[in-house]
Amino acid sequence: MLNDDRWMFPKGRVLKPHCVKWLGCLFACVSVAFVTSASAAERLDVVIGYLERLIPPPPTLSNLDPVPDDLGWAGAKLGVAGNSTTGKFLDHHYSLSERRVPEADDFMAEARDLLAVTPFLIVNAPAEDLLRLADLSEAKQALLFNVSAREITLRDTDCRANVLHTMPSRLMLSDALAQFAVKKRWTNWVMIEGSRDGDKALGNAFERSAAKFRIDLKSRKTWAFDADMRRNAASEVPLFTQDFPEHDMLLVADEAADFAPYLPYNTWIPRPLAGSVGLMPLTWSSVVEQHGAAQLQSRFRDLAGRTMRSVDYAAWAAARVIGEAVTRTNAREPDVVKKYILSDDFELGGFKGRKLTFRSWNGQLRQPIPLAQAKAVTALAPVEGFLHQRNELDTLGLDQPESRCRAFGEKNG
Amino acid sequence: MVRIALCFWLTATSALAGEIWVSNEKDDTISVIDEATLEVVRTIEVGERPRGITFSKDYKRLYLCASDSDTVQVIDPVTGKILHDLPSGEDPEQFILHPDNKHLYIANEDDAIATVVDVESRKVVAQIDVGIEPEGMAVSPDGSFAVVTSETTNMAHWIDTKSQKIVANTLVDQRPRHAEFTKDGDELWVSAEIGGTITVFDTDKKSEKAKINFEIKGIHPDRVQPVGFEMTADGKYVFVALGPANHVAVVDPKTYQVLDYILVGRRVWHMAFNGDQSRLFTTNGVSGDVTVIDVSNLKPLKTIKVGRFPWGAAYRPT
């Protein structure tokens, strides 16, 4: 039900025909609430928008594990369902309004359309689309949740005051792996990276983390094979890895999991693999089960008929962040909600073993990063022993002194 | 002299004649600890993923949530035999027996439901919609209210036990785990694992009265996660398990101040007193053992190895 009056009728907007339909609904809902809950607090209707840019995933050698069509969308649905369960005890009513925009269509037009309905948008789109959206005049008072873009710059020089990130940056992921390597004393690294932009960016993040945690990244090679590795990995990979210097760990930066699955057991010398294969730093994985996560996994499976992935988790978390803030403030005005989210009072139980909060200086959700392999979580970062004066979670990714983000104000801490 | 010693020996043994029953979540067993010898004397095979564990008021029956078997098992504590199952709803995690010794209030973790079962007729009396992942269960001493806490909705739901309807919902901090009424029924205490607090409610007003925070030197506050707790009958102490902080806090229920922290095993979860409340037995999930605490001096006395992932504990006199 789309009866958020504040966002349906902004000053000077012309009512569209379908708005008139909502108007009827608005009155119907209000009168029902008036009759049935005279003693309860005022009824609150909250629309959460879900905006996605549908970009076909890049081709990969293996098609065993395709990217689900409803990646992210299913997570948002689960989060809103959770909000609704809480809301029914408080007379808070949540609904999800989605725009899933094909690549060829006008993303900004759809975005404007959705912003006329609600200020709360869960955005599953590349960084450049996210920034164009954030800079729209219509989005000035909105609160956008980035659930897929991992660019470090979005948390740094390209940050925006109206964008919060529930998806970790690549640097949070690479720092998590670096902490684990230091703990194991596997501090001599070599790396293979793919040729796509995301692979280079991930490779750069690994290099940055290596420097931060005093790991020696001895060699960095680009994977440049056109051949189908399903047939000849056993002959090509040993040769490709033969000239690497002695190392403790082989890192792989291949975000689409294109060639990475064919590396294990084919390398010249036997060393653990990590990154995009082997031990993987992930926002979420189907093997996360501790801290009550098994319940979240089973609720997701019931809803989507598949396992929960990182973008699903980030979208779920975004919906829950909005719900939690509305529950605690009893308000739906975006400025009130945002202020609460960035305050010390905000906390979210996120099935990762400790409370999740936001970095008030760049809008990033602090969260532990599971280091997962095929069947189990090997470690949860921050790894024991990595301390921080304020919050151990700030050992992952950009910390306040490094961040060049100023959109949230200079004095935020 | 001999007579005095004999007399002392007699009282000592009569005071310590009982057992602590511990559910081992990842072993599908119960470990039975003799309170006099502090040894495991029996291991009983039960249903899958045993968690909530409690005795009937006359101690003639043990009720056990076998979560992954989707049932509550009724066990004869003398023989250790499973007598029958109760219809519990799906994924029962924790429950509380009403003072009438007849109605079991069960939290169905996966279903956002609380199920009320009549243990005599073995029938479901009511199912009540609650928040997501219900877990903590409490009944007021006079039996008028049952309280369910939901982990993801972060609420305590107050159920009128006559109508079996929710009459109030009160917000608590993130991930509430356990609820208990004080012995006089004036207060309801609710722990919040991720929030790191205990909220104390005024039962009559159903409003927040106090909030208890915990702080252990050298442990990050986010890792101090209150879960199970127990109150002494004399109103002197409340013992609070702090999960991955590996400590039990001792709280003064009059001032709400933390008096002490006792080091126990890893990921301490729930606990049970022995009969005269001279000893407290805590279940330590990750280390797979039970710590015995001497209540008189608030010091750990012994660690007893039990099964994998001990979860709940309950006492019965023998």
Chain A neighbors of B152, CB-CB under 8 A: 82, 85-86, 295, 349
CATH number for the A171-281 domain, one of 3.40.50.11540, 3.90.1180.10, 3.30.1490.20, 3.40.50.2300? 3.40.50.2300
Chain B neighbors of A357, CB-CB under 8 A: none
For residue A410, what pLDDT is reported? Answer: 60
Nearest neighbour of A347 by CB, restricted to B155, B194, B244: B194
Chain B neighbors of A82, CB-CB under 8 A: 132, 152-153
Nearest neighbour of A89 by CB, restricted to B169, B174, B193: B169
Chain B neighbors of A90, CB-CB under 8 A: 169
Closest chain B residue by Cα to residue A367: B222
| CA distance to partner chain A, nearest, from residue B193 (Å) | 9
Nearest neighbour of B155 by CB, restricted to A86, A347, A348: A86
| CA distance to partner chain B, nearest, from residue A404 (Å) | 27
pLDDT in tens, A213-237: 999 999 999 998 777 767 788 888 9
Residue A386 is encoded by which pair of tokens?
């990595």
Nearest neighbour of A295 by CB, restricted to B110, B157, B194: B110
| CA distance to partner chain A, nearest, from residue B171 (Å) | 8
Interface contact flag, B175 A349, Cβ < 8 Å: yes
**Cβ B308 vs Cβ B43: under 8 Å:** no
Nearest neighbour of B151 by CB, restricted to A89, A292, A355: A292
Number of residues that this document lists for chain A = 413
- Residues of chain B scoring pLDDT < 70: 1-15
Interface contact flag, A327 B175, Cβ < 8 Å: no
Percent of chain B as helix, strand, coil, to the nearest 5: 5, 55, 40
Rounded to an integer, what distance in angstroms lies between the CA atom of residue B208 and that of residue B256? 13
Which positions in chain B have a beta carbon within 8 angstroms of at least one beta carbon in chain A? 109-110, 112, 131-133, 151-155, 157, 166, 169, 171, 173-175, 193-196, 220, 222-223, 225, 244
For residue A64, what pLDDT is reported? Answer: 80
Domain A44-168+309-377+387-395 shares a fold with domain A171-281: yes
| CA distance to partner chain B, nearest, from residue A305 (Å) | 16
Number of residues that this document lists for chain B = 318
| CA distance to partner chain A, nearest, from residue B69 (Å) | 16
Chain B neighbors of A348, CB-CB under 8 A: 174
For residue B1, what pLDDT is reported? Answer: 47
Residue A121, chain B, CB below 8 Å: the answer is no
Residue A82, chain B, CB below 8 Å: the answer is yes
For residue B15, what pLDDT is reported? Answer: 59
Q: Identify the CATH homologous superfamily for domain A44-168+309-377+387-395.
A: Response regulator (3.40.50.2300)
Residue A91, chain B, CB below 8 Å: the answer is no
Query: B207: which strand partners?
Result: B202
Rounded to an integer, what distance in angstroms lies between the CA atom of residue A226 and that of residue A292? 44
What is the H or E stretch that residue A319 is in? helix A310-329
Closest chain B residue by Cα to residue A386: B220
Residue B112 is encoded by which pair of tokens?
């956002």
Sequence ranges of the domains in chain A:
44-168+309-377+387-395, 171-281
The 3-state DSSP class for residue B50 equals: strand
Nearest neighbour of A349 by CB, restricted to B131, B152, B155: B152
Interface contact flag, B110 A86, Cβ < 8 Å: no
- Residues of chain A scoring pLDDT < 70: 1-41, 229, 410-413
pLDDT in tens, B132-160: 999 999 999 999 999 999 999 999 999 99
**Cβ A165 vs Cβ A151: under 8 Å:** no
Phi, psi dihedrals of residue A207, rounded to the nearest 5°: -65, -40
Residue B308 is encoded by which pair of tokens?
């994998």
| CA distance to partner chain A, nearest, from residue B145 (Å) | 18
| CA distance to partner chain A, nearest, from residue B129 (Å) | 9
Binding-face residues of A in 387-406 toward B, CB within 8 A: 391-393
The contacts of residue A19 (CB under 8 Å, 6+ apart) are A8, A9
Closest chain B residue by Cα to residue A78: B132
Rounded to an integer, what distance in angstroms lies between the CA atom of residue A60 and that of residue A258? 4
Chain A neighbors of B223, CB-CB under 8 A: 354
| CA distance to partner chain A, nearest, from residue B109 (Å) | 8
For residue A1, what pLDDT is reported? Answer: 38
**Cβ B209 vs Cβ B202: under 8 Å:** yes
Residue A160 is encoded by which pair of tokens?
């925006």
The count of C-alpha atoms lying within 13 angstroms of the C-alpha of B258, restricted to the half-sphere facing its C-beta, is 18
**CB neighbours of residue A365 within 10 Å:** 25
CATH class held by domain B23-317: mainly beta
E runs forming strands in A181-224: 188-193, 216-222
The contacts of residue B187 (CB under 8 Å, 6+ apart) are B181, B200, B201, B202, B203, B209, B253
Query: B197: which strand partners?
Result: B192, B213
